[in-house]
């Protein structure tokens, strides 16, 4: 442990404040102050305060013989300057050097939270005596921009963050803390009675063949599928934020201290110092243990940005740096997220620099489309897989990362190219056919541009309406540019109301209908829109239809069957029907008036 000098000149552990210094004085300062002045020898010999006098500590002696300085850790030759000897020890014998070096009080880089923690240890204060109210609970902001982290690094500030994982949270929470939380939050008596009716005097039993076990009382956990489960667990976790208060947090200019954000059992802790981060973890662990909940150490991850040397940026401290930070839960170290690694929190991948670049999700989408194209499935099955599973899988990631309209539009073009290749449609087919619902004669493929645009605007609008100052600050300082771009893309104001957003969604659907009806591919779309039963086969859930028949039917619905009129549009050539030579060879003529298909029409009329 690094030894440190107090005002009396004696060495003491950094975890204890001198007895002569009042706790009230410690709480009223931001940085520790030392009135002891360095001697001229100390100022000349660097930052370590090692005088030219002979010193002996921990059986390590620094000699001065004939103006030569020697290292007692090895048999190296003498150094002409004491600074050279110190540099040799610092590089060659780092651990031994750190154990014997005395650091002056004015060189300590403790934060105000560190001093408060030390003062609390000195006075044995209880945590309830020093807390302030802070019940903000973030429900909708699982990611933050990369620019925010970059600015923290450029501002040369320390930041620590940790994500915690509660083992089987909903299955392990006892009923007694839930009841206490309901009463503490003054919930309606009807809600409390509903909880009591469902969980009091509840029993279960194990049955096998003709045998059954004795009744087992249910005293912990919530029932599977219970819609109240998230509400009940949030009420229990809210008490943790009251205990933590606003201590040990990271300071946001103009907002205050932020130390924790949570969504159900996914808790993220933040601090401006390593000592404060450990205190947050310890208090969280103590709170959960008292309620018979446990933190899963293997799934807890920490991120540390630390000041480093003369570089005007912070260092991402992982296991590869000198003296890496060590955060413990249940006396076990939790994983430090390295520079080239990422973790997943609330469905979004993170690196130490913030949310993963959205281009990572875009490459995953491209790979998924390639795999789906090679799958041994019918064309209609591939379309159904794309509609039901593939597109919804990426909507959440794109909504909660920094995706601008241009990038999202590129993903829509990628999907349209895949659809045209799978269904063997020409590149000029109207794209609105893919996005209209099946009832209206379309394929109901989700359009990223409209879906994600509306979702982002609704998300940011909810932040502005919320009473959480931290969310408002982050949106105003980090997400305003992206929000403005999406509002312009959706033709909305920067602060749209809920009615404006809903109206914009309706207008987008109406514009798609009009654009399809104005093209040759959807000239009869209004007819099919009024008869939804004739469009059911477009969903792709028909087992009896072959893949070739599905492709031909799609081509016929979009008026893309090759005919003389469609293939020679704009050319001065003969476009008469090759069978009857009575009219132009169009799809309407072939299906309704050509003599070649007269027999087929007569058969259909008999049904």
Segment 158-189, tens digit of pLDDT? 567 777 777 777 777 788 888 888 888 888 88
- Mean pLDDT estimate for the chain: 72
In terms of Cα–Cα distance, which of 355, 346, 183 is closest to 265?
346
The least confident of 63-72, 119-128, 369-378, 478-487 is 119-128
Quick one: pLDDT at residue 375? Answer: 92
Q: How many CB atoms lie within 10 A of CB 187?
A: 15
In terms of Cα–Cα distance, which of 146, 152, 153, 140 is closest to 360?
146
The least confident of 348-357, 382-391, 494-503, 584-593 is 348-357
Quick one: pLDDT at residue 182? Answer: 86
- pLDDT reading at 230 higher than 80: no
Quick one: pLDDT at residue 110? Answer: 44
Distance CA 160, CA 279 (A): 12
Percentage of the chain lying above the pLDDT 70 cut: 70
Quick one: pLDDT at residue 310? Answer: 62
The least confident of 196-200, 371-375, 387-391, 575-579 is 196-200
- pLDDT reading at 42 higher than 60: no
Quick one: pLDDT at residue 466? Answer: 65
Q: Could you give the C-alpha distances from 123 to 13, 16, 302, in angstroms and in order?
A: 16, 10, 30
Quick one: pLDDT at residue 74? Answer: 63
The least confident of 87-96, 193-202, 223-232, 261-270 is 87-96
Q: Is residue 434 within 8 Å of residue 516, measured between CB atoms?
A: no
- pLDDT reading at 222 higher than 90: no
- pLDDT reading at 262 higher than 90: no
- pLDDT reading at 580 higher than 80: yes
DSSP line for 263-316: ETTEEEEEESSHHHHHHHHHHHHHHHHHTT--B-GGG-EEEEEEE-TTSSSEEE
pLDDT classification of 90: cutoffs 50, 70, 90: low
Taking the mean position of all CA atoms in its chain, how far away is CA 52? 55
Quick one: pLDDT at residue 460? Answer: 81
Three-class secondary structure of residue 436 per DSSP:
coil
Mean pLDDT of the 91-110 span? 46
Nearest 5°: CA angle at 86, between 83 and 87?
Answer: 90
pTM of the model: 0.63
Distance CA 525, CA 541 (A): 21
Q: Which residue has the tokens 């749209």?
A: 496
In terms of Cα–Cα distance, which of 268, 273, 284 is closest to 328?
284
User: What domains are there in the chain, each with its CATH number?
Assistant: 3-129 (no CATH), 146-171+228-354 (3.30.70.270), 358-529 (no CATH), 573-607 (no CATH)
The HSE-up count of residue 148 (CA atoms within 13 Å, CB side) is 19
Higher pLDDT, 268 or 32: 268
Quick one: pLDDT at residue 102? Answer: 38
Quick one: pLDDT at residue 29? Answer: 35
């Amino acid at each position: 442990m690094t030894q440190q000098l107090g005002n009396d000149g004696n060495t003491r552990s950094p975890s204890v404040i001198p007895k002569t210094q009042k706790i009230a004085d410690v709480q009223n300062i931001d940085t520790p102050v030392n009135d002891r002045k360095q001697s001229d020898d100390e100022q000349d010999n660097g930052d370590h305060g090692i005088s030219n006098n002979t010193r002996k500590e921990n059986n390590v002696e620094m000699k001065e013989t004939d103006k030569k300085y020697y290292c007692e850790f090895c048999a190296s030759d003498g150094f002409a300057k004491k600074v050279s000897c110190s540099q040799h020890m610092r590089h060659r014998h780092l651990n031994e050097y750190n154990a014997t070096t005395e650091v002056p009080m004015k060189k300590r880089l403790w934060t105000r939270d560190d001093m408060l923690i030390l003062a609390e240890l000195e006075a044995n204060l209880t945590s309830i005596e020093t807390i302030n109210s802070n019940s903000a609970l973030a429900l909708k902001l699982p990611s933050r921009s990369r620019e925010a982290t970059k600015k923290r690094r450029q501002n040369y500030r320390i930041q620590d963050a940790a994500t915690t994982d509660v083992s089987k949270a909903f299955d392990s929470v006892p009923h007694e803390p839930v009841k206490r939380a309901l009463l503490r939050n003054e919930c309606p008596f009807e809600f409390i009675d509903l909880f009591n009716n469902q969980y009091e005097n509840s029993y279960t039993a194990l049955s096998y063949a003709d045998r059954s076990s004795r009744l087992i009382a249910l005293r912990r956990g919530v029932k599977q599928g219970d819609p109240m489960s998230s509400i009940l667990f949030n009420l229990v976790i809210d008490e943790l934020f009251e205990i933590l208060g606003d201590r040990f947090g990271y300071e946001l200019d103009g907002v205050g201290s932020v130390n924790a954000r949570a969504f159900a059992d996914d808790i993220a802790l933040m601090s401006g110092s390593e000592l404060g981060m450990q205190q947050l973890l310890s208090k969280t662990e103590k709170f959960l243990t008292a309620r018979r909940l446990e933190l899963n150490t293997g799934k807890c991850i920490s991120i540390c940005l630390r000041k480093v040397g003369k570089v005007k940026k912070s260092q991402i401290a992982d296991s590869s740096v000198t003296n890496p930070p060590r955060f413990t839960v249940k006396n076990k170290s939790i994983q430090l997220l390295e520079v080239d690694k990422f973790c997943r929190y609330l469905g979004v991948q993170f690196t130490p620099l913030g949310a993963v670049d959205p281009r990572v999700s875009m490459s995953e989408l491209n790979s998924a489309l390639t795999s789906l194209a090679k799958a041994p499935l019918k064309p209609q099955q591939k379309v159904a897989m794309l509609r039901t599973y593939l597109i919804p899988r990426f909507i959440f990631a794109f909504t909660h990362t920094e995706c601008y309209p241009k990038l999202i539009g590129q993903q829509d073009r990628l999907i349209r190219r895949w659809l045209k290749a799978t269904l063997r449609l020409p590149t000029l087919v109207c794209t609105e056919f893919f996005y209209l619902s099946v009832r209206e004669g379309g394929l109901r493929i989700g359009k990223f541009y409209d879906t994600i645009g509306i979702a982002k605007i609704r998300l940011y609008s909810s932040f502005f309406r919320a009473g959480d100052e931290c969310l408002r600050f982050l949106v105003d300082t980090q997400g305003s540019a992206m929000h403005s771009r999406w509002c312009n893309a959706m033709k909305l104001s920067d602060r749209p109301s809920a009615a404006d957003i809903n109206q914009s969604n309706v207008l987008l659907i109406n514009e798609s209908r009009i654009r399809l009806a104005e093209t040759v591919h959807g000239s009869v779309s209004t007819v099919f829109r009024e008869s939804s039963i004739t469009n059911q086969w477009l969903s792709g859930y028909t087992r009896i239809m072959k893949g070739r028949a599905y492709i031909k039917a799609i081509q016929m619905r979009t008026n893309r069957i090759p005919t003389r009129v469609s293939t020679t549009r704009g050319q001065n050539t003969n476009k008469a029907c090759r069978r009857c030579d009575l009219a132009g060879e169009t799809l309407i003529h072939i299906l309704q008036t050509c003599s070649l298909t007269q027999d087929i029409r007569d058969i259909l009329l008999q049904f």
